[in-house]
Structure 1
Amino acid sequence: MHLPSAADQIRRFECLRITDIETRDWAGVPGEVLGGWDGDDVAPIAELIAELPAGKLLRCFLPRYGIRAHGSEGVLFEIAFCFRCNGALTLLPGRDEQDLIAFDADSTPAQRLLEKFKALDPHPAAPRGVPG
C-alpha cells in the first residue's frame, strides 16, 4: 500500500480505536488514542503499512482501528482500517477527498499490523455489532 508521505517524514504514529463508524465524511479519523509509536518504532509500522498487498474490497467498511501519522510540522495523514472488508480509508489534512483502498487483510503484514493495534488496546475484542 502506498504511504501518502515519505516514511522518513513520519516522526510518530498514534493508534486509534475508532469511535464513530456511522459518519462517512470525516475530516480526520474519529477515535480514542490507544497509544503510539515513535523513535525507532516508527519505521517498522511504516514498513508494515507499505507492505500491505492489494486485496478485494468487500462492502461493510466498519473500521475498528486507525493510525495518525505525525511529522515535524503536524499531522501528515490518517488511515482507518477495516480488517473485515479489506478497506483502508486515507485522509489528508486540508483535503476533502477520501481515498478508499483495498488491501489483503489476511496477508502477513496486515495480520502483524492488527496485532500491533490489539497490543495497545485494553479491550481488543470487538464489541457486539462492531467488526474488527
Structure 2
Amino acid sequence: MPLPITHENAELVEVVRILDPLRHYSAEDVSGEETGVWEGAEAVRALTLIGALPDGDMRRCFNPGWGIRVHGATGPLFRLAFCFECHGVRLWGPAVPAGQEGFHAFDADSVPARELLRRLRATRSGTPGPSGRGGDQ
C-alpha cells in the first residue's frame, strides 16, 4: 500500500482500537481506545509493514476495528483505519496528497497484513498475540 511520502518523517504512531466503526467513513480523526504507542524504530517497522501490504479486492462492509494516527515532529501527518474483514483501509490527514486520500484495498490474508493485525492486537494485551485474522479484527 503506498503511503504518503511524509511517512518518512514519522516519529510516533498511536494505535487505536476503534469502538464505533461506522463513524470512520468521514470522521476527521481516528477515535476509540488508545491501546499503544510505537516510537522510533518500532514506528518505522510498522510503517514499513503497512507500506508492504499488497493490493487486494475490497468488499463492502468497511467496519474498521483498528486505526493508527501518525505524527511527525510538528504534529499530525496522517491517519489510517483498517477493516480486516472487507480488506479496506481509509487514508486521510493533513499530509496526504489529494489523489492519495480515501479508501484503498489490501490483501488482508497476506503475510504482512496478518503480521500487522498481530502487532495491533498485541498492543491491547501488552504481549504478542496470535497471528491471523478473526475475532477482534
Matched to 2:37, the amino acid is G
The residue number in structure 2 matching 1:100 is 103
Tell me which amino acid in the other structure corresponds to 1:107. Answer: S
How far the C-alpha of 1:6 sits from its partner, in A, is 3.3
**Hey, what does 2:89 align to over in structure 1?**
88
Higher helix share: 2
Contact 1:86 1:102 in 2 (8 A): yes
Backbone CA RMSD of aligned residues: 1.9
Residue 115 of structure 1 is matched in structure 2 by 118
Moved over 3 A (4+): none
Corresponding letter in the other structure for 1:112? E
1-side partners of 2:5 and 2:58: how far apart?
Answer: 23
Unpaired runs of 5+ in structure 1?
127-131
Task: Quote the residue 2:15 is aligned against.
Answer: 15
Superposed CA offset, 1:39-58 (max 9, x none):
12111101100000000000
Aligned length: 125
Structure 1 segment 68-79 matched on structure 2, within 5 A: 68-79=69-80
Q: Any conservation in 2 of the 1:88–1:100 contact (CA below 8 Å)?
A: yes
Q: Percent identity?
A: 38
Q: Secondary structure at the match of 1:117?
A: helix
In structure 2, runs of 5+ residues without a counterpart are 130-134
Structure 1 counterpart SS, 2:78 = strand
Q: Under a length normalisation based on structure 2, what TM-score does the superposition of the two structures give?
A: 0.84
Per-residue CA deviation, residues 73-114 of structure 1 (Å, 9 max, x unaligned), is 11100000000100000111388x750000000001000000
- Inter-partner Cα distance in structure 1 for 2:84 and 2:124: 16
